[in-house]
A and B are shown apart, each in its own frame.
Chain A
Amino acid sequence: MKGKIYYLFRIVKIGVKNLYLHKLRSFLTILGIVFGVASVIAMLAIGEGASYEAREKIKELGSQNIIIKSVKIPETRITQEATTFVGVYGLIEKDYEMIKTIPSVDFIVPTWEMKEDIRYMEKNIQGRIVCTYPEYKDVMNVITESGRFFSQIDFELFKPYAVIGASIKKNLFPTEDPIGKTITVRSYNFKVIGVAKEKGIVSGTTGFIAEDINFDVYIPFTTGRAYFGEFEISSKQGPIMRWERNWVKYHRFIVKVNDTDKILTTSAIIENILKTNHKKDDYEILVPLQLLIQAEHTKRIFNIVLGSIAAISLIVGGIGIMNIMLATVTERTREIGIRRAVGAKRKDIISQFLLETVILSSVGGFIGILLGILIPKLVTKFAGMTTVITWWSILLSFTISVGVGISFGIYPARKAAYLDPIQALRYE
């Protein structure tokens, strides 16, 4: 046993020595494996990162929810005065009442929203005022870091309370505790009663909705309606300053379905209701679950494509190794003859050559891993994309590279072992 370990140690030493003797050649030989492994890890990390973003975003929307949004379309203008447009668009009371009656709907949470400056003392930050119901907290999974969300009673009593997002807190109250402080929106004062926990910022790479909910301010729907009414007012840039006034009853409905299996049928029912209620396409239905399924599906296709490309590059790398090992066998024919003459068995020769290819491919695999970890980090740093390096991709690519080394090393090694020792000794 001890002898065997020494023997293994010796052939490893000989192998390393031989490879080190031809540094440049060994280096060039492993490049194929290096890039193969690096590309597997990097591509999977980027793919995983993209789908991770998508999944996080979708999870944030709630997988049991259906989200219906009002969409402004340009033709909603109905009157044109000198400086004012007045339009109507979006979800209406009738939609709300009808969706509420669908049996599979647990409850429906409407919102009315506006982008507005939020002031505290001399500080000022633009945020999104979300006027909503107390249930919003549950359906959108808003967690209060300190204080609390507004209650049903606050809602019914038109309380001027506000729950602010983490980024609002950071900007307006960098050092103070915001609870109990008064913030101002337009000319109305609100008492801060809670701060929402920071949620992962999700960039727009996933292709749908890119909103930073950390800039949200939640206030009771009743209070909001009383203060701000139902008109959305925005300024229009142009030769003369114009104001656009849009009448919007609701901006969003968040519909919670009581059973995940019923989500798709419920969304179909909702779509029918909206189709009959709306002449124009001024709404949008988002089904997070469906998006999740789509994202998973896309990810799978992505992984298969990436996997095939990577597999091809690893095979090419393997062929490169085999090519060099065949050249090495020819070059070292005499040495093989000598070793056979002094008593090396065929399996000794096989293990020596196989070990060299395995060393080559593992070193290549190792460098590839380092490079494969580095590339996604650089991508994250310079392109701002989320990347997720998975352990299994490292393990997989390393295993494959060693496997490639073994499978492409067997042929040259066998060729070496089955040389006729007499011929090999005479080889010049």
Chain B
Amino acid sequence: MSKVNDNFLIKMKGVKKIYDLGEVKVVALKNVNLFVKEKEHISIMGPSGSGKTTLLNIIGCLDKPTDGEYYLDGVDVKKLDDDHLSGIRNKKIGFVFQNYNLIPQLNVIENIGLPLIYRGIDEKEIIEKSKYYANLVGLGDRMYHRPTELSGGQQQRVAIARALVNEPVIILGDEPTGNLDTKTGKEIMEIFKKLNEMGRTIIIITHDVKVAEYGERIVKILDGEIIDER
């Protein structure tokens, strides 16, 4: 794994993603060049089907590009196998999804601590860290509740705490406010804003202009290509 000597956290050059569905080939990303520095807050905007979720999945190492270069924190992702990609997701990425994606059988603390159990950290430390982040997102009094006993906004806070618990280099949000009302959505975005101020790199996909406005930089994507950056 060669370290590239620049200060970009994400370096994408000519990234393509083609889904081979047998008879038809669907081009999700045509040619994406994206560079993200540490501590940036970026919003990616685009209509549905534009390829923004595919882009986020590739950034988050859930998916691999068909072609092109992608370096994350200096690591050439294309060369990694499934186990290493899992390791990267575990250590460097924090995901926040539109539908929260919490495990219903687990309580708040257990959901937050989920990434840590795949690191072989001891139980006590996991609980300690999970509690710390539960408090950070304002769920100190809901630690032993199940996701179904929480409101949408509270569930998304759990998801954010889970994305933070492994101290990732980057936090990815896939329409994190999509299922929330305007007021709660705003609260969630305030948390992201605060995290960014604390020094976290944040990339958020949205088609809500107000949400996108929180970003220092807005990247617009259409038909698998970046059409505007400002």
Contact = CB atoms under 8 A, between A and B. Distances in A.
B103 interface: yes
A337 B100 CA distance: 12
A343 B123 contact: no
A341 interface: yes
A335 interface: yes
B117 interface: yes
B87 interface: yes
Interface string A2-33: 11101101110000011001000000000000
A358 to B, nearest CB: 19
B48 interface: no
Contact of B95 (A2, A7, A342, A344): A342
A3 B114 contact: no
B121 interface: yes
Contact of A425 (B97, B102, B119): B97
A345 B83 contact: yes
Interface string A345-356: 111100000000
B208 interface: no
B87 A345 contact: yes
B123 A6 contact: yes
A334 B101 contact: yes
A172 interface: no
Contacts of A17: 105
A338 interface: yes
B84 to A, nearest CB: 9
A15 to B, nearest CB: 11
B62 A6 contact: no
B101 A21 contact: no
Interface residues of A, number: 28
Given A343-B118, A343-B166, A345-B86, A9 B103 contact: no
Contact of B118 (A334, A342, A425): A342
A17 B86 CA distance: 25
Contacts of B119: 3, 343
Contacts of B157: none
B123 A10 contact: yes
B184 to A, nearest CB: 22
B90 interface: yes
B139 to A, nearest CB: 18
For chain A, what secondary structure do more than half of its interface residues adopt (helix, strand, loop), or is it mixed?
helix
A2 B124 CA distance: 12
B101 A425 contact: yes
Nearest to B103: A335
B57 interface: yes
A248 B54 CA distance: 104
B83 A342 contact: no
A21 B114 contact: no
Given A334-B101, A337-B101, A342 B121 contact: no
A169 interface: no
B118 A9 contact: no
Contacts of B162: 342
A339 B86 CA distance: 10
B20 interface: no
B6 interface: no
B83 A346 contact: yes
B82 interface: yes
Contact of A6 (B83, B115, B122): B122
Nearest to B115: A342
Interface of A: 2-4, 6-7, 9-11, 17-18, 21, 334-335, 337-348, 421-422, 425
28 contacts: A6-B122, A7-B117, A11-B117, A21-B105, A334-B101, A335-B103, A339-B118, A340-B62, A341-B60, A341-B89, A341-B95, A342-B89, A342-B90, A342-B114, A343-B86, A343-B118, A343-B119, A344-B118, A345-B82, A345-B83, A345-B86, A345-B87, A345-B118, A346-B82, A346-B86, A347-B83, A422-B62, A425-B101
Shortest 8 CB-CB contacts between residues of A and residues of B? A343-B90, A3-B120, A342-B115, A345-B86, A343-B89, A343-B118, A338-B101, A6-B122
Given A6-B120, A341-B89, A341-B101, 7 more contacts: A17-B105, A335-B105, A342-B89, A342-B162, A344-B118, A345-B118, A422-B57
